[in-house]
Chains A and B, each alone.
Chain A
Amino acid sequence: AQSVSQHNHHVILSEAASLELGCNYSYGGTVNLFWYVQYPGQHLQLLLKYFSGDPLVKGIKGFEAEFIKSKFSFNLRKPSVQWSDTAEYFCAVNADRDDKIIFGKGTRLHILP
């Protein structure tokens, strides 16, 4: 069975700091990987996704993630965060040809102005 582990439950950063949120998954086969974001009071939105090809994926709002197959990781990065990045971030995995996506428990990111 697939599972997703997010390393940090709560992260606090100052504006302009660099961000890296860790995500590891467990599944031996081909996977599709996602990062979703939920801003306060809003619904979940897709930040970026990896299906195949270049393991460095660029998403919206300056976010990127790198798929490292040997480490079963898909860490989210942003070089300089803004106050508006305050949100909860979810890593998710979908085994290829499977209908469902499994989510991690989420990381709450709080950016200090």
Chain B
Amino acid sequence: DVKVTQSSRYLVKRTGEKVFLECVQDMDHENMFWYRQDPGLGLRLIYFSYDVKMKEKGDIPEGYSVSREKKERFSLILESASTNQTSMYLCASRDRSNYGYTFGSGTRLTVV
């Protein structure tokens, strides 16, 4: 089975801090994605990457950046964390031939 691992399950950070959320997949998938999940809003796409060093903005990229230096790792960066970025962050990966996503278990980030 494909495994998508997010490095932290829970994080608490202060306003203004730079925050790194890490995601690693072990099945050589080309595509990787970062979503945030908020009650009543579903999953909203922040950024995705279809290859190493390639990235595209999703629907809500403001306040975030990403890095994909290696195929298996996709990092989400909050340059200066704010309280409205308190959320559940989900990473996913996908093999282009499979269409469906495999999700990590999520990182619940609280910005205080």
Residue positions of A touching B, CB distance < 8 A: 6, 9, 32, 34, 36, 42-46, 49, 51, 90, 94, 99-106
Cα–Cα, bound, A6→B92 (Å): 22
Interface segment out of the listed B10-18, B42-50, B78-86: B42-50
- Residue in A34, A99, A106 whose CB lies within 8 Å of B100: A34
Residue positions of B touching A, CB distance < 8 A: 31, 33, 35, 40-45, 48, 50, 56, 58, 90, 92, 94, 96, 99-101, 103-106
Contact call B103/A44, Cβ cutoff below 8 A: yes
Write 22 A-B pairs (CB below 8 A) sorted by A numbering. A6-B42, A34-B100, A36-B103, A42-B105, A43-B103, A43-B105, A44-B90, A44-B92, A45-B103, A46-B101, A51-B99, A90-B42, A94-B99, A99-B48, A100-B33, A100-B48, A100-B58, A103-B35, A103-B44, A105-B42, A106-B40, A106-B43
Interface centre among A34, A43, A102 (most CB of B within 10 A): A43
Cα–Cα, bound, A103→B92 (Å): 13
CB-nearest residue of chain B relative to A96?
Answer: B99
Contact call A99/B105, Cβ cutoff below 8 A: no
B48: chain A residues at CB < 8 Å are 99-100
